[in-house]
Amino acid sequence: MGLDDKIKNTAEEMTGKVKEGVGKATDNEDLEAEGKLDQAKADAKQAGEHVKDAAKHAGDSVRDGFKD
67 pLDDT band (50/70/90 cuts)? low
In the predicted structure, residue 57 carries a pLDDT above the cut 80: yes
Length of the chain: 68
Task: List, for residues 18-52, the tens digit of each pLDDT value.
Answer: 999 999 999 999 999 999 999 999 999 999 888 98
Gap between the Cα atoms of 26 and 62, Å rounded: 54
Task: List, for residues 7-21, the tens digit of each pLDDT value.
Answer: 999 999 999 999 999
Gap between the Cα atoms of 36 and 16, Å rounded: 6
In the predicted structure, residue 68 carries a pLDDT above the cut 70: no
The overall pTM is greater than 0.85: no
Extents of the domains making up the chain: 3-67
Q: Which ranges constitute the DSSP H helices of the chain?
A: 3-25, 29-67
